[in-house]
């Protein structure tokens, strides 16, 4: 039973509705308003474990930098400057991680592909719209269904278990900041490790740390390995994200070799659309637009996210 004058297709890709089209009815508008008042959180076991591991590794790096390398140092200003710098990078990285994990990536409201909604769209005769058969929603252009989030996500780039969320239209900025700050903090930690090894070798490992030499070596080697792995991974992800933004092409669209049916925003226009406004220091701030929300636990059927 489809409304006359248009067709509804149950397919997974190449929708005709754009993100700017006003396809929301009263029910979907209230649904999006309800989503805006909730904290988004995906209840995925693997993703939650990876997110906790990310935090623990950053805390470990901060512990080694602060208590193994900087506090035992005899150079007061060396310890203060590097301690403040590293901890600021760590706070910005973890804040960006939280914003990425707890921000709705651009989920399309569930179940809005109903007959009543279809009639409210006032479609032109012969116009084709696309419905996701998995979450029963009308798919906007460039939206893809995530099997882990169990939702269609606007401009979905990929699902990242390390942030326990999809990277999409609304949280890509925070993901880029997360990868950037982790890469910078990893470089800083590697430099400090190198300087610490030189200092310890010159001092015969006697007064370079409050820990015993074997423990100090183990802690520094593990931090070096962590820094190398984190820097390699996040630097590559940061580069691919910037490339995707400047070319206005998500990773899924690139892998599927989808021909663009939208007007591309290239280079600075793409950066402005993701980070908001003209270039400024606010682009580097993960706290922009943040507001505290009161947590309210509710029961909700069929959703992987907490309704709070």
Catalytic residues: 160
76: left (phi over 0), alpha (psi -120 to 50) or beta: alpha
DSSP string of 38-87, one letter each residue? S---B--HHHHHHHHHHHHHHHHHHHIIIIIIITT-S-HHHHHHHHHHHH
3-state secondary structure of 31: helix
Q: Which run of H or of E encompasses 270? A: helix 268-275
* 144 DSSP assignment: E
Report whether 170 contacts 278 (CB < 8 A).
no
**Radius of gyration of the chain measured on its C-alpha atoms:** 24
* 21 DSSP assignment: S
Long-range contacts of 209-215 (CB under 8 A, 24+ apart): 209/68, 209/69, 209/72, 210/67, 210/68, 210/71, 210/72, 211/68
239-270: b (≥16 Cβ within 10 Å) or e: eebbebbbbbbbebbeeeeeeeeeeebeeeeb
User: How far is Cα 234 from Cα 240, in angstroms, rounded to an integer?
Assistant: 10
- Give phi and psi for 208, each to the nearest 5: -85, -15
């Amino acid at each position: 039973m489809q409304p006359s004058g248009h067709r509804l297709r149950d397919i997974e890709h190449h929708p005709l509705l754009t993100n700017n089209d006003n396809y929301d009815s009263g029910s979907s508008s209230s649904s999006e308003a309800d989503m805006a008042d909730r904290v988004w959180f995906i209840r995925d076991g693997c993703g939650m474990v990876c997110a906790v591991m990310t935090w623990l590794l950053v805390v470990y790096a901060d512990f080694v930098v602060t208590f193994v390398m900087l506090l035992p140092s005899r150079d007061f200003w060396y310890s203060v400057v590097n301690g403040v710098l590293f901890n600021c990078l760590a706070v910005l990285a973890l804040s960006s991680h939280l914003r990425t994990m707890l921000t709705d990536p651009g989920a399309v409201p569930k179940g809005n592909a109903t007959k009543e909604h279809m009639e409210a769209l006032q479609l032109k005769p012969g116009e084709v719209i696309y419905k996701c058969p998995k979450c029963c929603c009308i798919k906007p252009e460039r939206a893809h269904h995530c099997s882990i989030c169990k939702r269609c996500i606007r401009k979905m780039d990929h699902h990242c278990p390390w942030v326990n969320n999809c990277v999409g239209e609304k949280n890509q900025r925070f993901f880029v900041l997360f990868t950037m700050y982790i890469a910078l903090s990893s470089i800083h930690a590697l430099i400090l490790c190198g300087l610490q090894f030189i200092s310890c070798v010159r001092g015969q490992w006697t007064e370079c740390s409050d820990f015993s030499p074997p423990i100090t070596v183990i802690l520094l080697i593990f931090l070096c390995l962590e820094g190398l792995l984190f820097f390699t991974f996040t630097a590559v992800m940061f580069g691919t994200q910037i490339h995707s933004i400047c070319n206005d092409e998500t990773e899924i669209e690139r892998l599927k070799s989808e021909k663009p049916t939208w007007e591309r925003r290239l280079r600075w226009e793409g950066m402005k659309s993701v980070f908001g406004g003209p270039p400024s220091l606010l682009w580097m701030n993960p706290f922009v637009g943040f507001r505290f929300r009161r947590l309210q636990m509710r029961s909700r059927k069929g959703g992987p996210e907490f309704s709070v």
